[in-house]
Homo-oligomer: A and B are copies of this chain.
Amino acid sequence: MNNHHLDTERQDNIRMLSESAQNFAIKASPLTRARALRGSATGFDRSFWTKLAEQGWTGLLIPESFEGYGQGFGEMAAVVSALATQVAPEPVVPALVFASRLIEHSAEHQLKTGGSGELQQQLLASIAAGELIPAVAWQEELAGLDVSLLAHAVSAAPTNGRIQLSGEKHHVRPSADCDGFVVTAKQGEGLSLWWVPATTAGVQVNVVALADGTSAASVRFDGVMLEESQCLAQGAAAMSAFTRAYDEALVMTSVELLALQQAMLNMTLEYLRTRVQFGKPIGSFQALQHRAVDLLIQQELTSAVVGQAIDMLDGAATVVERAAMASRTKARASDAGLLMARESVQLHGAIGFTDEYDLGLYVQRALVLSAWLGNAQTQRRRYSTLTKLTTPSV
């Protein structure tokens, strides 16, 4: 990733963080750990989360005013990338980027408009401390992935001085062992965001197994009763907070996909160099060599786009610029991730298909992440609308 716009000191810091994150990840999260956790009840390891907190990474993005470390996306990307390279199953991007940033953006707005931001303050401090793992519950059956239509069937209605939340959300990550949800809900004609602890009465979590051994949840809210104080944001503020956090999560998911892509390519190149057929390393066969070059070029292109997107998150950009960049990045990273998965299995031949060979771990994680938050097709559609390339689609 190119960080052209960063000053030299910050670049050096990020490089150091990146190295230490890689060292940590390799030691604390060998691939055997990722392998062992596949299909387990929660899909990840809470004690490992504590280690992440000890490193300060659960609070890396959280501002110092909320008891975090106030670092940027360049720094967060270093950590995300190191963990993705080890296929660590912990929900770093879903919880520490998507949910955590959503809470933070809603806090910023509350504070600006004279609100207390107390709930957010509490939540962010717990997240930074590694004690709270939140998820965003936003996708609905009927609305699909259109982020401009955030909540339709899930509504928050005033009932006897409290608020009643009803409806169902899908594709929620983390699923099991998640401490609470930021729920998008329809309130009147507007959008609102609510904090709902997982233990609240009427919250029902159905775990859906995913191809990579992790899981997502469908979460039903059966007349869940909430206090007004559980509201994180309403109306335009809710929409703006959501969109921003969503775009940030898109970019950080792309960082994960890039790391997986690099890992798959490295394994593949190593295999081509060492595997002998017809008396020669198979990497000497032109057809395989050229495919490897294509893949390397794809990886470099993805890397360039991801780098640009991180710069943009850390810099100043309009809402539309940021959204267009995020969608374009996720589209590219998803496509490239799928291509790399497909080609690396192909180039490995039979061994690539064995489960004991680690390639499969990367491949299956890449498949899942390519779809998470919207696959390439969905993101291209959003990009098209945002950049008004053509007349609106019919």
Contacts and interface: CB of A to CB of B under 8 A. Distances in A.
Interface stretch (A132-140, A172-180, A377-385): A377-385
B393 A284 contact: yes
Nearest to A296: B389
26 contacts: A2-B4, A4-B5, A269-B390, A272-B390, A273-B391, A283-B389, A283-B390, A284-B392, A284-B393, A284-B394, A285-B393, A285-B394, A286-B381, A286-B394, A289-B389, A289-B393, A292-B389, A293-B381, A294-B380, A297-B332, A297-B380, A301-B301, A301-B304, A301-B305, A301-B332, A304-B308
A144 interface: no
A16 B344 CA distance: 46
A280 interface: yes
A54 to B, nearest CB: 37
B390 A289 contact: yes
A269 to B, nearest CB: 6
Contact of A391 (B5, B283, B304, B393): B283
Given A284-B394, A297-B380, 16 more contacts: A269-B389, A273-B390, A281-B391, A284-B390, A284-B392, A284-B393, A289-B384, A289-B390, A290-B380, A290-B381, A292-B389, A293-B381, A294-B380, A297-B331, A297-B332, A300-B328
Nearest to A274: B391
Contacts of A5: 4
Interface in A202-238: none
User: What is the predominant secondary structure among interface residues of chain A facing chain B?
Assistant: helix
A27 B164 CA distance: 68
Given A328-B297, A383-B293, A281 B4 contact: no
Closest 3 CB pairs of A and B: A283-B390, A4-B4, A284-B391
A94 to B, nearest CB: 26
Interface string A353-382: 000000000000000000000000100110
Interface in A132-154: none
Given A4-B4, A4-B5, A297-B331, A390 B281 contact: yes
Nearest to A286: B393
Given A297-B331, A301-B301, A292 B4 contact: no
Contacts of A332: 297, 301
Contacts of A296: 387, 389
A355 to B, nearest CB: 26
Interface in A235-294: 269, 272-273, 280-281, 283-286, 288-290, 292-294
A389 B288 CA distance: 11
A290 B272 CA distance: 36
Nearest to A285: B394
Nearest to A308: B304
Contact of A394 (B280, B300, B305, B389): B280
A288 B393 CA distance: 10
A308 to B, nearest CB: 8
Given A284-B392, A391-B281, A290 B4 contact: no
Contacts of A301: 301, 304-305, 332
A106 to B, nearest CB: 32
Nearest to A300: B328
Contacts of A293: 380-381, 383-384, 389
B4 A384 contact: no
Contacts of A285: 393-394
A285 B390 CA distance: 9
Nearest to A379: B293
Contacts of A280: 391, 394
